[in-house]
Structure 1
Amino acid sequence: MKILVTGAKGFVGKNLVYNLKNQGYSEIYEYDLDTDPASLDLFTRDCDFVYHLAGINTSKDPEVFMRTNLGSTETLLTSLKKNDNKAPVLFTSTAQVSVDNPYGRSKKAAEDLLLSYRSETGSKVVICRLPTLFGKWCKPNYNSIVATLCHNIAHDLPLDFGNPYVEINLAYIGDVMAGFISFLKDKEGNIFSSDKKGLGFYYFNIQPVYTFHLCEIIEMLNTFKKDRLNFLVPDVSDPFLKKLYSTYITYLPVHQFNYPLEKREESHGYFAEFIKTPEKSQIGVEVTKPGKTSTSHWHNTKCGKFLVVSGTGTISFRRADQEETVEYQVRGENMEVVDVPPGFIHSVTNNGNTDLVTLIWFNEPVDSNGPDSIYPEV
């Protein structure tokens, strides 16, 4: 398929172009403000599908909205009609069409023009009324309040957004892309099967849409910022938290992606926490020096998984109420996980000439105020 994307360098357009390419669509006509206007006529001669994303949603001059949002639609449709191309057109509108403001009025006028074009030509039209969007590559202080919040919090800038209890409807750019690309699966028109009157147009609502108060979004983002340096990550089983967190970290200053771990020095080497989650699990890194053995201990409830990623050693076990000892020989190149159950005394010995590096998962984090550890010898 030959796909035309107007507004290809904007937030939605850039994500769409990369998603299309990732799914194997190679003939993509990218049209934006810096594209030679004559190219539009060439693109509309043989394109099979049109994503009309071009437009503007922020301006101090109210007249710019109508001139740009309606004007770009008029230019596109005129070019399609000139070339007698009835390719389906997907248009990104806004939930603000019902709001009496210059932006909403301009998008509603573009919608009406598209519906007239559909009646005149019989071409298929998809109208997507989008809520506030968020995700990677969204421009702060322009596209989305979420982008501005992420940017300001990540860069320690002040927040001043009026009523903190205003409700915001949000859609994630990844969900928008999935919805948009679904329309390519059958460009012949089966996507309009719900149009019982055969009118040839389709209002499409992106799902899911998440609704939060502004202050709730700010609280989540501030928590991400604070927890990052405490080795905590959010509960990614929550779809919205996962998407918001993935968005937030794209706004970190590029020279601040890194942060140090805190090493706990021990007689055999050291241990460093890497990740903790609200579900109370933890991942850490233990380094055992050559010829050294970690302190033997066991747990009442805590269990773990050990993965030696570098070096050679022995992990020894003895059930606390028995005498028999079991040993596992471990090597970094084997990439073998060893379970550490509760009630088993265990230790790690470095048999090699280099540091033994072990990645350790625990089902709960280390608690210095109430450690679940008992220290007999294996």
Structure 2
Amino acid sequence: MVRVGITGASGFVGTHLRFFLYGQRDKYKPISVQKSDFSTSEKLAKKLKRCDIVVHLAGLNRGEEKEIYEINTKLTKTILTTLDKINKRPKIIFLSSTHNTRNTAYGRSKRDSEKMILDWGTKNRVATFSIVAPHIFGEFAQPYYNSAIASLAYELSKNKKSVVNPDAKVELIYIQDICCLITSLFKKKSSKTIIPNGKKMQLTDIYSLLKNFRDVYFFDIFPKFKNNFELQLFNTFRSYLYPNHFPVNLDLKKDERGAFVEVVKTKTRGQISFSTTHPNIVRGNHYHTRKIERFCVIKGKAEIKIRRLFSKKVYTYKVSGKRPVYIDMPTFHTHSIKNIGKKDLLTIFWINEIYDPKDPDTFPELVKF
């Protein structure tokens, strides 16, 4: 079992890295190094002693210029000094930024931290790595702090107006791709600076894509995705819809013949399934990292529960086939459906890709602890 220390473990990248490692928890044990662990050298030493690898993500990217530089470089110095005191020599992976070429406090702090870590690794004959990342986007990024994409997606999800710089260009990389890159370095033995390639676009084009997703999806249609990047962008957008957007009422059309409901309208591919569930039986208790999945009960009564990974808060939706609604499962949220009626439950499921047993993107996890 490889023990991976993560500074800034509760931040945007840290949370996603823990998601990523949780899917491989038979191999890796994350050790969260929180802000409070830096309060005393004893607390930090206690955490670092347990680490085979340290992934250094902690830092400020907003605030006063002097504060940003001093805090970010102090965090790096404190880690290295503490490792020296306890005579610990773990591999270090540092998340830097393409801003490291700029003469801003943030850029200088990244550049100087890279050098400190590289020098420490050279002195101690330990492999160290710096990932010079472009603009990182993905689910659950904090609007107005982590990412311009997060701010735009959040504003569109709430039908707010956005101000978009028509001249701004961005180079984007998806958060889980960064996590995959980080873990790929766990077994590397030679120090290296890695500059991953992102997707370069005008910010106005990103906004147009997000707005199209919003406009189509709010008319109960799944948009068509030209590539994985667009799917990742859509999943980022819809991560801001939970929990209040759901359940969504479906149009129930009735006449003398009975009733008719359009459950899924899509411009993309997918797979439709249905299940019957006996009373008091629970299905699901798993999560997905990329799939879009829709639940729609068409007969009986059900209780649908959703919980984000590492959170204790469970959202519960009670639904009935008498008043059809749909709930789309967010990525990185474990979910379940229970028959709370006295008769068999009939549920339709739609998912945006055909099931592949070799790559199911389905990870078991109980909704309730």
TM-score (structure 2 length as normaliser): 0.69
Q: Runs of 4 or more off by more than 3 Å in structure 1? A: 264-267, 279-285, 354-361
Number of matched pairs: 282
Identity %: 27
- Equivalent position to 1:179, from 161, 181, 188: 181
Q: Which residue pairs with 1:3 in the alignment? A: 4
Q: Which residue pairs with 1:57 in the alignment? A: 61
Task: Describe the SS at the equivalent of 1:92.
Answer: strand
- Whether the aligned pair in 2 keeps the contact of 1:166 and 1:214 (CA below 8 Å) is yes
Q: Which residue pairs with 1:76 in the alignment? A: 79
Q: Which residue pairs with 2:218 in the alignment? A: 229
Amino acid of the structure 1 residue aligned with 2:33: Y
Within-5 A mapping of 1:1-378: 1-24=2-25, 25=27, 27-35=29-37, 36-37=39-40, 38-59=42-63, 61-161=64-164, 163-184=165-186, 186=187, 191-192=188-189, 200-206=190-196, 209-236=198-225, 238-252=227-241, 254-278=243-267
- Measured in 2, the distance between the counterparts of 1:6 and 1:279 equals 39
- Cα distance, 1:280–1:48 mapped onto 2, change above 3 Å: closer
Instruction: Kindly state the Cα deviation for residue 283 of structure 1 after the two structures are TM-superposed.
Output: 7.4
Task: Describe the SS at the equivalent of 1:274.
Answer: coil
- Measured in 2, the distance between the counterparts of 1:283 and 1:269 equals 22
Q: Which residue pairs with 1:332 in the alignment? A: none
Q: Which residue pairs with 1:335 in the alignment? A: none
Task: Describe the SS at the equivalent of 1:255.
Answer: coil
- Measured in 2, the distance between the counterparts of 1:88 and 1:248 equals 35
- Deviation string 1:158-193 (CA, Å, 9 cap, x unpaired) is 2124x2242111111111111112223x2xxxx24x
- Measured in 2, the distance between the counterparts of 1:74 and 1:168 equals 31
- Measured in 1, the distance between the counterparts of 2:241 and 2:206 equals 17
Instruction: Kindly state the Cα deviation for residue 110 of structure 1 after the two structures are TM-superposed.
Output: 0.6
- Cα distance, 1:215–1:237 mapped onto 2, change above 3 Å: closer
- Cα distance, 1:65–1:360 mapped onto 2, change above 3 Å: closer
Task: Describe the SS at the equivalent of 2:103.
Answer: coil
- Cα distance, 1:262–1:108 mapped onto 2, change above 3 Å: same
- Deviation string 1:343-369 (CA, Å, 9 cap, x unpaired) is xxxxxxxxxxx99989699xxxxxxxx
Q: CA RMSD in A?
A: 3.0
- Cα distance, 1:53–1:80 mapped onto 2, change above 3 Å: same
Amino acid of the structure 1 residue aligned with 2:81: T
- Measured in 2, the distance between the counterparts of 1:7 and 1:255 equals 28
- Whether the aligned pair in 1 keeps the contact of 2:21 and 2:29 (CA below 8 Å) is no
Task: Describe the SS at the equivalent of 1:227.
Answer: helix
Task: Describe the SS at the equivalent of 1:34.
Answer: helix
Instruction: Kindly state the Cα deviation for residue 229 of structure 1 after the two structures are TM-superposed.
Output: 2.8
- Whether the aligned pair in 2 keeps the contact of 1:86 and 1:124 (CA below 8 Å) is no
- Cα distance, 1:174–1:358 mapped onto 2, change above 3 Å: closer
Instruction: Kindly state the Cα deviation for residue 64 of structure 1 after the two structures are TM-superposed.
Output: 1.3
Q: Which runs of 5+ in 2 are unaligned?
A: 275-297, 301-342, 351-369
Instruction: Kindly state the Cα deviation for residue 113 of structure 1 after the two structures are TM-superposed.
Output: 0.9
- Measured in 1, the distance between the counterparts of 2:169 and 2:265 equals 31
- Cα distance, 1:30–1:230 mapped onto 2, change above 3 Å: same
- Whether the aligned pair in 2 keeps the contact of 1:274 and 1:283 (CA below 8 Å) is no
Q: Which runs of 5+ in 1 are unaligned?
A: 193-199, 286-308, 312-353, 362-378
Give the structure with the larger strand fraction. Answer: 2
Amino acid of the structure 2 residue aligned with 1:3: V
Task: Describe the SS at the equivalent of 1:138.
Answer: coil
- Worse-matched range after superposition: 140-149 or 220-229: 220-229
- Deviation string 1:196-228 (CA, Å, 9 cap, x unpaired) is xxxx42112345x22221111111111222112
- Cα distance, 1:40–1:46 mapped onto 2, change above 3 Å: same
- Deviation string 1:285-334 (CA, Å, 9 cap, x unpaired) is 9xxxxxxxxxxxxxxxxxxxxxxx869xxxxxxxxxxxxxxxxxxxxxxx
Task: Describe the SS at the equivalent of 2:32.
Answer: strand
Instruction: Kindly state the Cα deviation for residue 284 of structure 1 after the two structures are TM-superposed.
Output: 12
